[in-house]
Structure 1
Amino acid sequence: MDLLRIKDFTLVARYGGFGKAARATGRPKATLSRRVAELEAELGLRLFERGSRDLRLTEEGLALFERAGQLLTELEEATAAIASGGKIPRGRLRVSVPLLFAQTAMGRLAAGFVLHYPEIQLEVTADDREVAMIEEGYDLVIRVNPKEDETLIGRPFLHDRQILVASPHRTRPSGDGVVPVIVRGATGQQKSWKFITPDGASTMMVNPVLSLSSMIMIRDAVRLDVGVASLPLSLVFNDLNTGKLVKWGDMEGPAAALWALYPSRRLLSPRVSAFMAWLKKCFPEGTSDELANFIE
């Protein structure tokens, strides 16, 4: 079986079309189309359903893409390791990270990484959705409190928690007073918040007055005393120290853990190993204040 045909097939499957794959890789569209047709003829199977505007993998095509993509990646990693003597990580590394982590920390982290490993071409995508690593061609993903997934392994490298913060000019109401709050998501759905103070558990009646899609925007609105909000400790750590914000309590619920994950069925590449080691170097203890000081 011709490996070039399989490689071109995985390119088309990864990018979702012949034209998209050709533009992304510089391979001629006609060549990609011909090689995929030859592979389908060789296998006696249709690998793509071809519509007027889109291209979709068949069940057989998806199965081949998942298996072939892993094998080709391992082959590329093995040849790269041999070529470099197994010492210097090199090649492309694709990473998906949550939006807030990207906005606050990833720029500095990524810049330091590529300066330390100049032979690695790092590509970072900020996305809060749960990407499909193998199908979308990612080598590593960072997720907050990920669900159990037997196809992925990794470790937590940062821990954070949600706290209730307000402007220092706002007084916490007593009794049944309703507090204006800023939320991430739809307004009007939340009636009360539960949080923990040094005196014990407390419940506060809330009125969502503003909805914003970014935690950074929420923090800025709290600074202007629009309302109170639940925010990660790391994001407001320095504001608490300088008195720009005050803490009313700890929000109920589990702490947030950021995990670095990669496919368990693939060999751990030198690039992924290097990135995991870099995360450990940047956050040796994995605490909220470490992250706060990193993004300062």
Structure 2
Amino acid sequence: MDRLSALEIFVTVVSEGSFSAAARSLGMSKSAVSKHIAALEDRLGVRLLNRTTRRLSLTDAGALYCERANRLIAEAEDAEAEVSQLSSAPKGVLRLSAPLSFGIRHLGPLLPAFLAQNPGLTIDLKLDDRLVDLVQDGFDIALRVTTLTDSSLMVRRLCPSRVVMVASPDYLAERGIPAEPADLKEHACLVYSNQTYGLEWRLVEAASGDKLTVRLGDSRVRANNGDILRFAALQGQGIAILPTFFVGEDISSQRLVRVLPGWEGVSNDVCLVWPHARYTPAKVRAFVDYMVKALGGGTPPWEDCPSLSRGLPPSQG
């Protein structure tokens, strides 16, 4: 018998607590199990089990060997499962979580092609700005726009998510153009109410990387959804600070222009997260590979416009 099979018989005897129970579990005779254990001890030159008429117990050597044997068997099972996954087509239901606005704007349009490439898959997508617990809520994978930190989850970064200040040309013509961050106190600012730092914007100077916190003055609109703030900015209600995936097209078409283009908000990452497992299911691996090709190739599609690198010159105010 090969060594891996001998290990499996040994750990089964230990887990079942007797040769008879192990024999039933393995579909072997009791005498065959006993002979394999005896042969294993002869090969190792050490006793692994103490045998009495009532029960079996591990020797010190047996306890050490059992721990290593379990680890080797688990690794062998993982390797077989992982290789098997490589040859199997993704199938079943992929339970996916994503933020509401990003999901509608940028994830939704990508899903038809993914499903066409994977006819055995069905997608169950839940859009929610709440940070879901993947394991507790039963999700296979989640797309998140967040600052990456140490996590108990597997993480694959797709692309950056820049945050910029924008306003409509009409608003700036009426209220003037801020020349420096301190000027924001004199403007109507549109605030994302889910942020934890209240009526403040945390800014980063693009050239130097210096950070600055600005206390805001008038706040015309507060909302817990970026699309609401975008609509308000388009209607000339004030200055908003939003991820470029919301406003990239508006900046390109000049419906909105950048304010204080030398400064940005604290950027995040668009990433995929999924639970740790002995091996990644084929359906999850297929989705990760697809999204890496779709969004992981450098500049995100919503930033593919020169206008994002500049704002409205002060002379036009």
Whether TM-score is above 0.5 comes out as yes
Does the 8 A contact of 2:187 with 2:239 survive in 1? yes
Report how far residue 159 of structure 1 moved: 0.8
Quote how far apart the aligned CAs of 1:184 are: 1.4
The one-letter code of the counterpart of 1:180 is A
Distance 1:148 1:198 in 2: 28
Identity %: 24
Deviation at 1:128, TM superposition (A): 2.0
2:191/2:199 contact within 8 Å kept: no
Mapping for residues 266-277 of structure 1, pairs under 5 Å: 266-277=278-289
Unmatched tracts of structure 1, length 5 or more: 1-73
User: CA 1:179/1:197 → structure 2, altered by over 3 Å: closer, same or farther?
Assistant: farther
Contact 1:154 1:259 in 2 (8 A): yes
One-letter code aligned to 2:297: E
Change (3 A) 1:164 1:284: same
Counterpart Cα distance in 1 of 2:86 and 2:290: 21
Residue pair 2:157, 2:272 contacting (<8 A) in 1 also: yes
Query: Of 258, 271, 275, which aligns to 1:247?
Result: 258
Which residue number corresponds to residue 107 of structure 1? 108
One-letter code aligned to 1:142: L
Equivalent position amino acid for 1:182 in 2: L
Within the alignment, does 1:168 sit opposite 2:176 as a pair? no
Equivalent residue, structure 2, for 1:132: 133
Residue of structure 1 equivalent to 2:191: 183
Q: Tell which deviates more after alignment, 202-211 or 99-108.
A: 202-211
**Backbone CA RMSD of aligned residues:** 3.5
Question: How many Å separate the matches in 2 of 1:179 and 1:88?
Answer: 56
Match of 1:145 among 144, 147, 155: 147
Question: Are residues 1:264 and 2:276 paired?
Answer: yes
Structure-2-length-normalised TM-score: 0.59
**Aligned positions of 1:26-105 closer than 5 A:** 86-105=87-106
CA–CA distance in 2 between the matches of 1:93 and 1:181? 40
Compute the displacement of 1:100 (Å): 2.3
Cα distance change, pair 152–195 in 1 and its aligned pair in 2 (3 A):
closer
Pair 1:209-2:220 in alignment: yes
5+ unaligned residues in a row in structure 2: which ranges?
Answer: 1-76, 305-317
**Residue-by-residue CA offset, 1:160-188 (whole Å, 9 max, x unaligned):** 11111111121214675610011111799
Give the aligned length: 216
| 1:76-117 alpha-carbon deviations (Å, 9 max, x no partner) | xx6xx96x9934211111111122211211211222211221
